């Protein structure tokens, strides 16, 4: 396991960021988490070492829209002993061994009775499944089907030392302040125990991304939310409904550490700016990712995109949830994710941020015919730059589509050119008095690029 505190630079920025994200994910992986409890708090404490995270505690019984904050759950120990007194299952060996939110149990019972409380994957017999029972009073275990098949008849001692009591739901939030009052929401769920891709990868990536943004001047506020799935998003929405109208763009980030995809699921709106941005980012990535339409099933995008909010929030992943054999099993471990793929996911999200920051709506101030660029020094200013041809075409595309109805991203998509070339051309035209910006505020030179990859 890589130690986050002893990492040394390789000299390659993208390699370094991948190593750092992986190291943080590795720190989070062993923690036994659920939708509430001390595991969530420990996770937030570790994330808080990277960024100035504000932790919120919402009491059990608090109404959150149509839901109620549940009792807090914590677990200390769990095992099954066979008739010889040997442990055939031990929570200390894997957090997935116990059904999430199990009520406590301590009894001896015959194997026939115990079997109804053991969950396995017969089609993946060497793997432990991840199962939960948040809102039903049950107890249970999860184990590899191969091990389950080896259990001999007799009486088994079963023990789950857990507790459900009135307590709190915990979540963390960090806000990077920009120079407008508009927000970008970036969210990852914090409730899964020891699932490296479906949990740890998203938490670690967003924490490292938030840390990288701290020294940058941005137009938008970037709101990072680390909350348990479903109930955490609902709790945040219920307590922050007055802030919802400021969210212009949003991404749910999960399963970003494996070698699949990339995949992007559109927001409910279907053609919001974040949908267009992610479609462009994936189209220019060397792997040419997959874009899927919105559906009301998935992660917390379905809460933010519920009709009463209808926020422009999409879902970014590598392999899409539920489509890879490691999903919600013990095979989703630290060997399944890699620094390389984490770095690639980080780069794509940073590219999306760059575009959001640099995108604006130009208006051609000389719309009748083409303005004379040469006498304004726009051609000669390029000198022997090998990108002169691309920039010249960028001038023409921007001037032609700068009718007040097209953003730079719109012009990029229509022209087939890169966003970088279109943005560069527009900035030069703006500086030479040929364009006006009719969006809220144009980006300032030297303050636009976050990652340098766009």
Model pLDDT, residue 454 = 37
How much is the pLDDT for 443? 43
pTM of the model: 0.92
Q: Which residue has the higher pLDDT, 165 or 383?
A: 165
Do the annotations mark residue 176 as ligand-binding? no
Query: Of all helices (H) and strands (E), which one includes residue 250?
Result: strand 247-253
Using CB atoms within 10 Å of the CB of residue 207, give its burial: 0 to 12 exposed, 13 to 18 middle, 19+ buried: buried
Strands in 155-165's sheet, in edge-to-edge order, are 87-90, 72-81, 155-165, 105-110
Structure confidence at residue 378 as a pLDDT band (50, 70, 90): confident
Total residues found in the chain within this entry:
454
pLDDT for 98-132, tens place per residue? 999 999 999 999 999 999 999 999 999 999 999 99
In the three-class reduction of DSSP (H, G, I as helix; E, B as strand; rest coil), residue 424 is classed as helix
The radius of gyration of the chain from alpha carbons, rounded to an integer in Å, stands at: 25
Structure confidence at residue 377 (pLDDT): 84
**Closest C-alpha among 170, 174, 183 to residue 208:** 174
Strand locations in 97-205 (E): 105-110, 118-119, 141-142, 155-165, 168-176, 183-189
Options 3.30.1060.10, 1.20.120.450, 3.40.1190.20, 1.10.10.10; CATH for 361-437 is 1.10.10.10
Is the pLDDT reported for residue 451 higher than 60? Answer: no
Whether 409 and 427 have beta carbons less than 8 Å apart is answered as no
- Using the predicted structure, report yes or no on whether residue 383 has a pLDDT greater than 60: no
Are domains 4-69+168-357 and 74-165 of this chain identical in fold? no
Q: Identify the residue whose tokens are 């407008």.
A: 180
Distance CA 309, CA 311 (A): 5
Please count the other Cβ atoms lying within 10 Å of the Cβ belonging to residue 139.
Answer: 18
- Region 52-81: mean pLDDT is 98
φ, ψ dihedrals at 37, nearest 5°: 110, 180
Residue 192 annotated as lining a ligand binding site: yes
Reply yes or no on whether the pLDDT at 379 is more than 60.
Answer: yes
Q: 168-176 and 155-165 as β-strands: parallel, antiparallel, unpaired?
A: unpaired
Identify how many contiguous H helices and E strands the chain contains and give both numbers: 12, 18
Res 6 pLDDT > 70: no
Closest CA to 314 of 327, 304, 326: 304
Q: How high is the pLDDT of residue 285?
A: 84
Taking CA atoms, 335 is separated from 22, 83, 325, 330, 433, in Å, by 11, 35, 14, 11, 55
Domain residue extents for the chain: 4-69+168-357, 74-165, 361-437
Q: Provide the H-helix boundaries in 150-268.
A: 202-213, 231-239
Please tell me the predicted confidence (pLDDT) of residue 111: 98
Q: Residue 394 above 50 pLDDT?
A: yes
pLDDT at 13: 80
Return the minimum-mean-pLDDT range out of 24-28, 87-91, 347-351, 441-445: 441-445
pLDDT exceeds cutoff 50 at 2? no
Q: 335 is written with which tokens?
A: 């060997």
- Residue 380's pLDDT is what? 56
H helix or E strand, kind and range, residue 344: helix 339-358
Average pLDDT over residues 364-370: 95
Whether pLDDT at 210 is above 80: yes
Confidence of residue 311 (pLDDT cuts 50, 70, 90): very high
Do 452 and 375 meet the contact criterion of CB atoms below 8 Å apart? no
Q: Which two tokens stand for residue 246?
A: 């400021």
* Out of 185-189, 205-209, 298-302, 437-441, least confident range: 437-441
Per-residue pLDDT for 433 more than 80? yes
239 pLDDT band, cuts 50/70/90, is very high
- For 449, phi then psi, to 5°, come to -85, 125
Mean pLDDT value across residues 153-177: 98
Contact 328/261 with Cβ under 8 angstroms? no
What is 4-69+168-357's CATH number? 3.40.630.10
Q: What distance in Å separates the CA atoms of residue 301 and residue 274, rounded to the nearest whole number?
A: 13
Query: Is 52 labelled a binding residue?
Result: no
Q: For 320-338, how does the pLDDT look when each residue is reduced to its tens digit (9 = 90+)? A: 999 999 999 999 999 999 9
Helix (H), strand (E) at residue 347: helix 339-358
* CATH class of this structure's domain 74-165: alpha beta
Pairing of strands 221-227, 183-189: parallel
């Amino acid at each position: 396991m890589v130690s986050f505190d002893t990492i040394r630079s390789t000299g390659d920025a993208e390699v370094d960021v991948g190593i750092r994200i992986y190291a943080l994910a590795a720190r989070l992986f062993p923690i036994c988490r659920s939708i509430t409890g001390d595991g969530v708090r420990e996770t937030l404490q570790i994330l808080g070492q990277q960024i100035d995270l504000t932790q919120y505690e919402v009491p059990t019984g608090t109404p959150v829209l149509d839901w109620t904050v549940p009792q807090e759950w914590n677990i200390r120990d769990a095992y099954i002993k066979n008739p010889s007194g040997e442990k055939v299952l031990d929570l200390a060996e894997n957090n997935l061994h116990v059904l999430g939110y199990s009520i406590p149990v301590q009894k001896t019972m015959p194997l026939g009775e115990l079997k109804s409380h053991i969950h396995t994957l017969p089609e993946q017999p060497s793997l432990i499944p991840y199962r939960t029972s948040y809102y039903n009073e049950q107890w249970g275990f999860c184990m590899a089907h191969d091990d389950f098949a080896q259990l001999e008849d007799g009486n088994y001692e079963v023990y789950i030392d857990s507790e459900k009591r009135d307590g709190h739901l915990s979540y963390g939030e960090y806000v990077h302040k920009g120079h407008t009052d508009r927000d970008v929401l970036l969210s990852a769920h914090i409730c899964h125990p020891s699932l490296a891709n479906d949990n740890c990868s998203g938490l670690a990536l967003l924490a490292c991304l938030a840390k990288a943004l701290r020294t940058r001047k941005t137009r938008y506020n970037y709101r990072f939310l680390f909350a348990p799935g479903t109930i955490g998003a609902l709790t945040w929405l219920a307590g922050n409904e007055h802030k919802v109208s400021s969210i212009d763009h949003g991404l749910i980030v999960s399963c970003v550490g494996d070698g699949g995809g990339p995949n992007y699921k559109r927001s409910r709106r279907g053609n919001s700016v974040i949908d267009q941005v992610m479609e462009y980012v994936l189209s220019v990535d060397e792997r040419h990712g997959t874009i899927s339409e919105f559906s009301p099933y998935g992660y917390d995008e379905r809460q933010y995109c519920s009709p009463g909010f209808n926020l422009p929030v999409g879902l970014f992943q590598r392999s899409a949830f539920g489509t890879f054999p490691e999903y919600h099993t013990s095979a989703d471990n630290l060997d399944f994710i890699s620094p390389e793929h984490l770095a690639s996911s980080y780069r794509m999200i940073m590219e999306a941020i760059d575009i959001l920051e640099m995108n604006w709506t130009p208006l051609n101030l000389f719309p009748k015919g083409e303005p004379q660029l040469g006498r304004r020094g726009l051609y000669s200013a390029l000198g022997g730059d090998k990108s002169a041809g691309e920039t010249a075409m960028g001038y023409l595309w921007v001037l032609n589509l700068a009718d007040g109805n097209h953003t730079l991203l719109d012009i990029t998509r229509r022209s087939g050119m890169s966003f970088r070339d279109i943005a560069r051309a527009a900035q030069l035209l703006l500086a030479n008095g040929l364009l006006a910006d009719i969006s809220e505020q144009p980006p300032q030179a030297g303050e636009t690029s976050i990652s340098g990859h766009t």
